Amino acid sequence: MIRDDFKAKGLKKAKETLDIMKLNDKERIAYNRKLENKSLEKSLFKSALMEHEYKTKIEIAKNLLDILDVENYRYKNWLKY
């Protein structure tokens, strides 16, 4: 048992590790499942964010192409006259 008033570096992590080691099998399985779910949640969030950023960049590119097409059209027509 590590007392709560001890403040040495790394002690908090050691206490957490000991607490996990004290869990019975059922509790440890539930704890590990919770960690896996948290990791999966982070991964899904990051994937959704990356997809949103990708779609945003595609929209910007399409808008720029539309602008360039209009400018090129005007330029080409100006050259004809």
Long-range contacts, stretch 9-12, CB < 8 angstroms, 24+ apart? none
> What is the Cα–Cα distance from 33 to 42, expressed in whole angstroms?
14
Measured from the Cβ of residue 17, the count of other Cβ atoms closer than 10 Å reads 10
> What is the Cα–Cα distance from 69 to 80, expressed in whole angstroms?
17
Q: Quick check: 28 pLDDT over 60?
A: yes
> What is the Cα–Cα distance from 45 to 47, expressed in whole angstroms?
5
Answering whether pTM is above 0.85, one says: no
Mean pLDDT of the chain: 84
> What is the Cα–Cα distance from 27 to 23, expressed in whole angstroms?
6
Average pLDDT over residues 30-57: 95
Q: Which pLDDT does position 79 carry in this prediction?
A: 54
